[in-house]
A and B are shown apart, each in its own frame.
Chain A
Amino acid sequence: MSRRSARDPVEFVEERLGGARGLRFLMSYVFPDHWSFLLGEVALYAFVVLIATGTFLALFFSPDLGTAVYHGSDPALQGQSISSAYASTLKLSYHVSGGLLMRQTHHWAALLFLAAITLHLLRIVFTGAFRKPRDINYFIGVTLLALAILEGFAGYSLPDDLLSGMGLAIAWAVAMSLPLIGGPFATALWGGRFPGTSVFESRLYIAHVFVLPAILATLIAVHLAIIMRQRHSQFPGPGRREDNVVGTPMWPAYALRSLGLFAAVAAVLVLMGGLIQINPVWLWGPYHPYLGTNGAQPDWYLGWLIGALRLMPNLEISVFGHTLVPNPFFGGVLFPTVVFALLYALPWLDRRFISRDPARHDLLQSPRENPRRTALAAAVFSAVAIVFAAGSADRMFFQFGFGYEGAIWFFRGAFLAIPVAVFVITRRICLELAVEREHPLRGWSGRIVARDASGGFAPVDAGSTISEASDHGGST
């Protein structure tokens, strides 16, 4: 190694592999400066933790529904005939060193992966980051959300405990409810009638540990590559224009910050995995099709589908005495299809009807700058949030004493009324904020005026921010 290349790592790589230009591009890539740009990164690092912990779990989990008599450590399951899948999950939790920590960290990471994606999506929608030219990357992001939900559900379904079995029973009913093709589709997927044959667990397993993660990882890579190709969008501010990005370069500053974020995400997830119990499968017991527990729930990211199944009035469409559209179709298939269709259509809807602006935009909008979009998006999200809340109506009844049937009717009404109220109120707030030019979280950021020689006042800079304001304040 020459002394020169030792001094310059880029040179070192260039001499051996070439590609210095790419490396220099990467190192000087500028990240704009706003905390909300880290939400997607949190999701990315949760995904890394998921891969790491999931690899560990896959070493010990056995995706096999063959049963054997249990003689492990759990006192309540002694002598019961349980599947290898469930038994290996129990063994993982009781006997493998660090096994329970890994399993719990994996599960918390899954919940937070979806939470981070959701927050990231909200940021993208409310700031108009999905507009041209980033609409393509936005479609990839929405696809990632859908696949992450599927991936989470596949994982939830693997251990063959009572909860996962009941979740699959609902999935089966929803698959069966597809008009015309439901029956053949569901039996093909499950390898027979519910609960299916052993091939189903294999399919679920391969989908969860290979197919879906591979697609997710590929799409994440494409997602990031497109971001770098198009460069980040940024919030408007002094010196920030459509044709530039102001912020921190990758090397050395941003890389270290991002590494810090990775460490923080991993720390939070492992802490949660070690300190807070999640999915104690040994207490749920094994699944058999004739068993069920009151209060079974999916993980939070599927709560909106359970809510939709519960809220949907008892409606089925029959033709000549045959049920064409069974009831679970509306809540389990139609509702998520509509929500995702709205998400996918958002760039087009925005271009065509909401902002009516087909231009390319590299500067983001503050939510208040586009009251109509902000209010509409808030209304749609509030409708989904109400359906989500309805998914746990039974617990609310039990915990707080609402009547269950009453609660369902309350949520049906709220589903229709609340989004309208949210639209009106959000729009009003946006308009007020736009007039006052005040950031709700960061206080005053008004105009700076200067007195000129003739005694009159004139604004110094229309786009003043706090930093500039305080600078001016200090010097004038």
Chain B
Amino acid sequence: MRRRLAALAAALCGGLAIVQLALADERGHAAAAAPPAVSSASLVASGRALFESSCSACHGIGAGGIHGRGPSLRGVGALAADFYLQTGRMPLSASRAEPLRTRPAFPQRQIRALVAYVASFGGPAVPDVQPGRGSLADGERLFALDCAGCHTIQGQGGIVTGAIAPSLNQASPRQVGEAVRVGPYVMPRFGEAEISAAQLDSLARYVQYLQHPENRGGWGIGRIGPIPEGMVAWLLGAAALLLVARVIGERREDDPEERETHHG
């Protein structure tokens, strides 16, 4: 329920932002006349305009943060901005809400502008994650060690105290890398010392694998273990056997085989 509300609110915020942006474009900004390759400066400029209309209510004009509403974004870099915007976690419905994955509120062009603007204050860049370079087995080991405790070993997500550890079924390798380096919400931040760039490649490869794993054995009933298994056992298996018992368990009323026997 909370997630749905948050998603709805985020979508509304996003929608408003888009309308505002469209109006801004119509006012004859550089966008219309810009060359195909938008220069960095103009990208930052349009990002600033977008930021002021869509983000500054919480993060402040100039991304300096507003006490009690939103943190400063100076120095978080393209890394955090790209992660939060690409996964739809920003904008938030309320400043205290848990940022949850949803559809991005902004189109790609605008996300690029916003990211460029936030990155203009400095800070870490988006990591270059190449799952192809990683090792699946290393990824499994690292994931079991560092990620499964919250996201479950099969990447299906779960709860932790006070928060939701999301399912990783939609996480792209780049987003996996960003989340590891950012540590969004209650997730710990893993620096290069904890998880190297090569290990990050392996992790991303494992998450990719989890989205289409070696899944023999038939219908995969959610891959979250014994809960759906128990439900299938009762609702399908036990129900079928009860039906069998009900059908063959009683003779017809005119059964000629009926006998009577006495005790002792």
Q: When chains A and B are docked, how far (Å) is the Cα of A269 from the Cα of B236?
A: 11
Q: Given A104-B217, A115-B238: A283 and B223 within 8 A (CB)?
A: yes
- Residues of the A chain whose Cβ atoms lie less than 8 Å from the Cβ of B262: 243-245
Q: Which of B214-264 contact A (CB under 8 A)?
A: 214-221, 223-227, 229-230, 232-234, 236-238, 240-242, 244-246, 248-251, 253, 255, 257-264
Assess whether B86 is interfacial by the CB under 8 Å rule. Answer: no
Contacts of A291 in B (CB 8 A): 144-145, 148
Given the interface pairs A300-B229, A398-B158, the reply to whether A244 lies near B260 with Cβ below 8 Å is yes
A279 on interface, CB distance cutoff 8 Å = yes
Residues of A within 8 A of B220 (CB): 277, 280
Give A99-129 as 1s and 0s: 1 = Cβ < 8 Å from B's Cβ atoms.
0100010011001100110010000000000
A143 within 8 A of B: no
A283 to chain B: which residues have CB within 8 Å?
153-154, 213-215, 223
A-binding segment of B17-25, B73-81, B159-167, B185-193: B159-167
Tell which of A35, A74, A247, A295 touches B225, judged by Cβ atoms closer than 8 Å: A295
How far, in angstroms, from A272 to B219 measured CA to CA in the complex?
10
Are A261 and B245 touching (Cβ within 8 A)? yes
Is residue A394 contacting chain B, with contact meaning CB distance below 8 A?
yes
Task: Establish whether residues B230 and A299, one from each chain, have CB atoms under 8 Å apart when the complex forms.
Answer: yes
CB distance A293 to B153 under 8 Å? yes
With A276-B232, A295-B158, A398-B164 given, is the CB distance from A244 to B215 under 8 Å?
Answer: no
Residues of B within 8 A of A257 (CB): 248
Interface presence of A78 (CB below 8 A): yes
Determine whether the beta carbon of B218 is less than 8 Å from that of A293: no
Docked complex Cα distance between A33 and B258 (Å): 9
Decide yes or no: A294 and B263 within 8 Å by CB, A35-B246, A76-B214, A80-B141 being known contacts: no
Asked if residues B230 and A303 are in contact (CB atoms below 8 Å), the reply is yes
B156 sits at the interface (CB 8 A): yes
Question: Is B136 on the interface with A (CB-CB < 8 A)?
Answer: yes
How close is A86's CB to chain B, nearest CB, in angstroms? Answer: 13
**A187 sits at the interface (CB 8 A):** no
Q: Are A298 and B137 in contact (CB under 8 A)?
A: no
Does A239 contact B260, Cβ atoms closer than 8 Å? yes
Is B149 close to A, CB under 8 A? yes
Q: Do B165 and A111 touch across chains, with their CB atoms under 8 A apart?
A: no
Chain B interface size band reads: 35 or more
Known: A115-B237, A275-B218, A283-B213. A394 touches B229 (CB 8 A): no
Question: Could you tell me if A28 and B259 are in contact, using CB atoms closer than 8 angstroms?
Answer: yes
Assess whether A282 is in contact with B141, with CB atoms less than 8 Å apart.
no
Residue of A35, A247, A253, A293 most packed against chain B (CB within 10 A): A293
Count A interface residues, CB 8 Å: 83
- Shortest Cβ distance from B160 into A: residue: A294
Tell me which residues across on chain B come within 8 A of A292, comparing CB atoms. 148-149
B222 vs chain A, min Cβ distance (A): 10
Alpha-carbon distance between A294 and B159 when the two chains are bound, in angstroms = 8
Interface contact B244-A294, CB-CB below 8 Å: no
Please measure, in the bound complex, the distance between the C-alpha atom of A247 and the C-alpha atom of B216, giving whole angstroms: 46
Q: Does A464 touch B at the CB level, under 8 Å?
A: no
Name A194-228 residues within 8 Å CB distance of B. Answer: none
A111 near B230: Cβ-Cβ < 8 Å: yes
A7 to B181, CA, bound (A): 84
Closest to B153 in A: A293
Q: CA separation between A104 and B164, bound complex, in Å?
A: 31
B2 contacts which of A94, A245, A401, A467 (Cβ < 8 Å)?
A: A401
Contact B233 A401 (CB under 8 A): no
In the complex, the answer to whether B237 meets A108 with C-beta atoms within 8 Å is yes
Q: Is B161 within 8 A of A93, CB to CB?
A: no
Q: How far is the CB of B33 from chain A (nearest CB, A)?
A: 47
* Closest B residue by C-beta to A278: B229
A19, CB-defined interface residue at 8 Å = no
Shortest Cβ distance from A284 into B: residue: B153
**What is the bound-complex CA distance between A401 and B159, given in angstroms?**
10
State whether the Cβ of A37 lies closer than 8 Å to any Cβ in chain B: yes
A370 interface contact, C-beta 8 A: no
User: Is A446 on the interface with B (CB-CB < 8 A)?
Assistant: no
User: At the interface, yes or no: B152 with Cβ under 8 Å from chain A?
Assistant: yes
Knowing A33-B251, A404-B159, say if A272 contacts B216 (CB, 8 Å): no
On chain A, the residues within 8 Å of B219 by CB distance are 275-277
Q: How far is the CA of A277 from the CA of B214 in the complex (A)?
A: 12
B249:A115 contact, CB within 8 angstroms: no
Closest chain-B Cβ to A258's Cβ sits at a distance in Å of: 9
Min C-beta distance of A47 to chain B, whole Å:
13
Contact status A116-B238, CB under 8 Å: yes
- A residues in contact with B234, CB < 8 Å: 115, 300
With known contacts A239-B260, A282-B214, A77–B153 Cβ distance under 8 A: no
Task: Point out the residues of chain B lying under 8 angstroms from A112, CB to CB.
Answer: 233, 237-238, 241
Query: Is A297 engaged at the interface, CB distance under 8 Å to the other chain?
Result: yes
Q: Judging by beta carbons under 8 Å apart, are B215 and A277 in contact? A: yes
Interface residues of A in 177-198 (CB under 8 A from B): none
Q: Is B47 part of the binding interface, using a Cβ–Cβ cutoff of 8 Å?
A: no
Q: Is the CB of A294 within 8 A of B217?
A: no
Q: In this assembly, does B139 line the interface, its C-beta being within 8 Å of a C-beta of chain A? A: yes
Report A-chain residues with C-beta under 8 Å of the C-beta of B224: 295, 395
Among all A-B residue pairs, the 6 with the closest Cβ atoms: A35-B249, A300-B230, A277-B217, A294-B158, A111-B233, A38-B245
- Can you list 6 pairs linking A and B with CB atoms under 8 Å apart? A38-B248, A39-B245, A112-B238, A293-B149, A300-B233, A392-B227
